[in-house]
Amino acid sequence: MSARLIIADDEPLARARLRAQILELGVGEVVGEAASGIDAVMLAETLQPDVILLDIRMPGMDGLEAARHLCRLPQAPAIIFTTAYNEHALAAFETHAVDYLLKPIRSERLQTALTRAVLLTTAQRRTAPAIGGGKRRHFSALIKGSLRLVEVNEVRYLQADQGYVTVKHPAGELLIEDSLRALEEEFVDEFLRIHRNTLVARAHIVALERDSLGNSAVALRDMAEKLPVSRRLLSAVRRRLREGSG
For 88-142, the pLDDT digits (tens) are 655 655 556 788 899 999 999 999 999 988 887 655 665 544 445 567 899 999 8
Give the pLDDT confidence score for residue 144 in this predicted structure. 85
Contact 158, 168 (CB under 8 A): yes
The CA distance from 131 to 124, in Å, is 17
Sorting pLDDT into bands at 50, 70 and 90, what band is 164?
very high
The CA distance from 98 to 117, in Å, is 6
CATH class of 4-125: alpha beta
**How far is CA 160 from each of CA 157, 176, 179, 246, rounded to the nearest angstrom?**
10, 9, 8, 30
Ramachandran region, residue 145 (left: φ > 0; alpha: ψ -120 to 50; beta: rest): left
Among candidates 88, 62, 70, 69, which has minimal Cα distance to 10? 62
Highest mean pLDDT among 72-76, 121-125, 163-167: 163-167
Average pLDDT of the residues in 46-64:
93
Q: Does position 183 have pLDDT exceeding 60, yes or no?
A: yes
For domain 138-245, give the fold: OB fold (Dihydrolipoamide Acetyltransferase, E2P) (2.40.50)
Contact 183, 152 (CB under 8 A): no
What strand order describes the sheet that includes 172-176? 172-176, 164-169, 157-161, 198-201, 191-195
**How far is CA 32 from each of CA 8, 57, 102, rounded to the nearest angstrom?**
9, 19, 21
Give the pLDDT confidence score for residue 131 in this predicted structure. 40
Sorting pLDDT into bands at 50, 70 and 90, what band is 74?
confident
Average pLDDT, the chain: 89
Give the pLDDT confidence score for residue 128 in this predicted structure. 43
Q: 238 phi and psi, to 5 degrees?
A: -60, -45
The CA distance from 135 to 54, in Å, is 18
Domain residue spans in the chain?
Answer: 4-125, 138-245
Average pLDDT of the residues in 21-39:
95
